[in-house]
């Protein structure tokens, strides 16, 4: 009888261990995917690209461009997100022809140019955007980012201070503060 009792206890302990491992694996996996899991040991500068809708499909290979500026903007953002920056720049240029004060197009075009290693052009476009909408916080952040990336730290500080001063409590303002901290 003691041997049977011993086997029952061993089986019960093994089952409990397996259940514990499964519960740990499931909860740890859910925690990392469902919660905002970040590694705070690494502070990264996040470029201020276009705000992308996660439902956007890949850009079309060919076809006629839409005439509507909003549809053009979605298409430009698709090209940007896909890393096809030259096409994104073409789209943003068309948007600016149709709506010359579109500060998002200036912002996104400037970043696309920067990623194409055309940073001087990017700075010029972003500065035009700051003139078109001096109170648009994101374009100041983008300008600061591009200037900082090209080693023009004094100019970058001025742009980032402007982004922060516009509203230090927003996500853009917080990112500008982080970038300023990297320049000190």
Determine, yes or no, domain membership for 94. Answer: yes
pLDDT for 161 beyond 90: yes
- Number of domains composing the chain: 2
pLDDT band at 86 (very low <50, low <70, confident <90, very high): very high
R_g of the chain computed on alpha carbons: 25
Cα separation, 53 vs 80, in Å, equals 12
Cα separation, 52 vs 74, in Å, equals 8
Cα separation, 78 vs 52, in Å, equals 8
Determine, yes or no, domain membership for 57. Answer: no
pLDDT digits 0-9 by tens, 2-48: 666 777 787 877 878 888 777 776 666 544 443 333 333 333 444 44
Collapsed DSSP state (helix, strand, coil) of residue 51: coil
Same domain, 84 and 169: yes
Same domain, 73 and 12: no
Contact 138, 162 (CB under 8 A): no
């Amino acid at each position: 009888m003691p041997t049977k009792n011993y086997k029952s206890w061993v089986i019960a302990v093994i089952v409990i261990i397996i259940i514990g491992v499964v519960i740990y694996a499931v909860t740890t996996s859910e925690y990392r995917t469902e919660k905002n899991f970040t590694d705070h040991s690494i502070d990264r500068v996040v470029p201020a690209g276009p705000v992308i809708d996660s439902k956007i499909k890949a850009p079309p290979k060919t076809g006629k461009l839409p005439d509507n500026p909003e549809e053009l903007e979605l298409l430009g953002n698709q090209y940007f997100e896909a890393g096809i920056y030259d096409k994104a720049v073409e789209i943003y240029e068309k948007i600016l022809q149709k709506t010359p004060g579109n500060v998002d197009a200036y912002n996104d075009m400037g970043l696309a140019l920067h990623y194409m290693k055309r940073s001087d052009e990017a700075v010029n476009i972003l500065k035009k955007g700051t003139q078109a909408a001096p109170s648009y916080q994101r374009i100041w952040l983008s300008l600061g980012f591009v200037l900082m990336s090209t080693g023009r730290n004094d100019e970058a500080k001025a742009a980032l201070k402007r982004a922060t001063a516009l509203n230090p409590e927003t996500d853009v303002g917080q990112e500008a503060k982080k970038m300023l901290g990297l320049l000190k």
